[in-house]
A and B are shown apart, each in its own frame.
Chain A
Amino acid sequence: MSTSAKYWRGIPQRYRLEAEKCTDCGAQFFPPRVVCSGCGGREFEEIKLDDRGKLLTYTVIRVGPSEFCEQTPYAMGIVELEGGVRMTGQIADVDFDDLEVGLPIKIEFRKIREEGEAGILCYGYKFVPDK
């Protein structure tokens, strides 16, 4: 059974889309890093990511891992946000036939899954079509 630290430790990223920008070279990192992989810099400023972007690629998961079995089929994709940060997540409220590269996306705060026998609720970001 997991201890609680790993759930609250991810809150700034998963709930508030907090990222970091290297003060030396300006590279953005989501999630935050200790060392900039671009220039080796160690100073960062906190930034809030834009909640809009576009879909770079997608799939529909038909066979899921244990904790997602009840959600199948569900769409997933990689989104590039305005500003360049990329992330993987589920695409909600979408007709699978409407999935296409370049689809405008808005990020929303949603429930992701229930974890373990205790059914701990895990929240985070999901993508929805930005109509």
Chain B
Amino acid sequence: MRDVAVIGVGMQKWGELWEKSLRDIFTESAMLAIDDAGVDHIDSMYVGCMTSGLFVGQEHLGSLLADYLGVAPIPALRVESACASGGAAFRQAYFDVASGANDIVLASGVEKMTDVDGAGATYALSTAADAEYEVYHGITFPGLYALLAVAHMHAYGTTREQLAEVSVKNHKNGAKNPLAQYPFEVTVDQVLNSVMIADPLTILDCSPITDGAAGAILCPLDMAKDLSHKAPVKILSSAHATDSIALHSRQDLTWLSAVAKAGEVAYKGAGLTPADIDFVEVHDCFTIAEIAVIEALGFFEKGKGGTGAPSGETAMGGRIPVNPSGGLKSKGHPVGATGIAQIVETVKQLRGDAGERQVEGAKVGMTQNMGGTGGSCVAHILGKV
């Protein structure tokens, strides 16, 4: 396998992009990534997208988006793993380059979520859970994570305020990200007193409905300097793991075993431990998700993830900054694009290009992107060359 580098990244400002269609936002972000790398062509492309079929009535994205990017007839493939689709697309692009099959590959992600109303979006997202044994009974994604939250609070004494602190911390970071959907700060009181969605989670515990896309250009590390003027960022490891789709099938309702497994494989592949990671972009689709993930990735002891935000350990300048970008909470969560946006942030941080939210001296960054309630998880570790 060849060593692989990321030489270009791009995303537009995310939000409710009423005037743009799925093909527009994909193409914009892909062009930003191509221009950032400075390459004159791509050899193949992967598109992470959870459910364009339900959101905009469109499948067969490989054909559509290669055409609109003006790169047909190159191979182009849509990759799906629910909310981990972007991370999974990046992993496929990594294998494509590492294997020697192609040299310059676009890894991208896109989701256009605002062409359906709130109930339609709730339904579309719910298809990442078990349709016959969870969704049939009326569960929603906020509901599933609320079940995880109540179990975590009962088992470990995690508090309602600790959940809110995750949202406060991520909004504080996101306020410094000009591409974030909601670049403003919130207070613990605002989180606690916002509209209840699924007890105990309020709307400020939940990542938003977002239109957005992101892209990254990968190439062999030894070709990076010839192809691009940008400082290459090396992919140190790539990992993917699965768990039961239904939350109720897990022996420990508070433990995300696919995240733990993906983390373990990623650390082993890079020859690193959690202590070697300078910052991490995690899948905080709900505040409780960040708490469970930082435990599963080994940054906090099992049951102690709730202390991360209140103690300042996960803040900028803390022991392990979590979600410098603002995370899904503040940056937005166009589901299929999220995994690629994590790569975009990580590359900017490792290049030293993250502006006001720069993690000082960052040399190694990690990304963690999961589908459903952790039924699938993709993790990558990237390093400065």
Contact = CB atoms under 8 A, between A and B. Distances in A.
Interface residues of A, number: 32
Contacts of A11: none
Interface string A85-111: 011111000001000010000000000
Query: In terms of DSSP, what is the predominant structure of the interface of chain B?
Result: helix
Query: In terms of DSSP, what is the predominant structure of the interface of chain A?
Result: strand
Interface in B242-286: 246-249, 253
Contact of B247 (A66, A74, A88, A89): A88
A22 to B, nearest CB: 15
Nearest to B150: A57
A64 B138 contact: yes
Nearest to B195: A62
Contacts of A59: 143, 146-147, 150, 198-201
B132 A31 contact: yes
A128 interface: no
B126 A65 contact: yes
Contacts, number: 96
Interface in B185-213: 195-201
B133 A31 contact: yes
B248 A87 contact: yes
A59 B142 CA distance: 10
A122 B199 contact: no
A56 B151 contact: yes
A69 interface: yes
Interface string A27-71: 000010000000000000000000000001111111111111101
B349 interface: no
B287 interface: no
B155 to A, nearest CB: 9
17 contacts: A57-B150, A57-B154, A59-B143, A59-B146, A60-B199, A61-B138, A63-B118, A63-B140, A64-B122, A65-B126, A65-B135, A67-B138, A76-B143, A78-B147, A78-B247, A87-B133, A101-B150
Kindly list the 9 A-B residue pairs having the minimum CB-CB distance in the complex, ordered from nearest. A59-B146, A66-B119, A57-B151, A68-B138, A86-B248, A60-B199, A78-B248, A57-B150, A57-B147
